[in-house]
Amino acid sequence: GAGVSQSPSNKVTEKGKDVELRCDPISGHTALYWYRQSLGQGLEFLIYFQGNSAPDKSGLPSDRFSAERTGGSVSTLTIQRTQQEDSAVYLCASSSGLAGVPTDTQYFGPGTRLTVL
Amino acid sequence: AQSVTQPDIHITVSEGASLELRCNYSYGATPYLFWYVQSPGQGLQLLLKYFSGDTLVQGIKGFEAEFKRSQSSFNLRKPSVHWSDAAEYFCAVGTYNTDKLIFGTGTRLQVFP
C-alpha cells in the first residue's frame, strides 16, 4: 500500500485478556519499529526488526509483550494478560533499512488505540 | 544514554505569529536529530532531519530547525504560523550505532485565529 497501515484502529479489552495488534509496513521496507505512546508521554521504543537479523527487543517493558514479523513483512505485537497500564496508542513505523542507521526516514502508521478496562 | 527534552508542554500562538519550539538533547557524540508532527488522529510525519553539514535545516511546510552543538539544542522555527499547524510536535534523536529513535514528550501547539 501507499503507507504503513495498522489494525485495528481501536481496541477495547478487559484486564487479563490477550490482544494482538497488526502492522503492515510499506512494501519493500526491511526495517519495522513498534513504539508506544502513553497519555502525556513521548513515544517509547518497544522493538525493532531489520531484515533477517535478530530483533532488538530492548524496549519491551515486560515479558507479557512480544512481537513477530512473518516473511519480513507484516508484524504482530502481542500483549498477554493485559493490564490497565498497557492502555496507550501503539505506533508502527517502517523504513527502507538500506542505510542501517537512523538517517533513514521512519514512516509511521496511524496507530492502534488500546484501552484496557 | 541519549535523551531528549522538550521543555514546553503546550504553546499557544496567534495565526501569523512566529513560532519556536525548543528541543534539547543529551548525547556524547554527534546526534542525528529529527522533528516529527502528529496531527489529531494521524500518524507522525517527518518535518525535517539533521545529520551533518549545514546546521540550519529546511523542512516541509515552511519549517526550519537549527542545530547548536554548544547548546545541545535543535529548535524548530516557523516565521508565520497557519491554523493548520495546530498539532503535536516531537523532537527525536538517533545515533549511529542504533536504529531506534528516542523521542521527547512532545509540545502541543494551539493556533488562535
* Residue A59, phi-psi category: left (phi > 0), alpha (psi -120 to 50), beta (remainder): alpha
Report whether pLDDT(B86) > 90.
yes
Residue B24 with chain A: CB contacts under 8 Å:
none
The pLDDT tens digits for A2-44 are 799 999 999 999 999 999 999 999 998 988 999 999 887 778 9
Task: Kindly state whether A31 is in contact with chain B, defined as any CB-CB distance less than 8 angstroms.
Answer: yes
CA B92 centroid distance within chain: 7
CA distance A20 to A7: 9
pLDDT at residue A99 tops 70: no
> Are A102 and B94 in contact (CB < 8 Å)?
yes
pLDDT tens for residues B24-67?
998 777 788 999 999 887 789 999 999 888 899 999 999 999 99
Helices (H) and strands (E) in chain A, counts: 0, 10
Q: Is A105 on the interface with B (CB under 8 A)?
A: yes
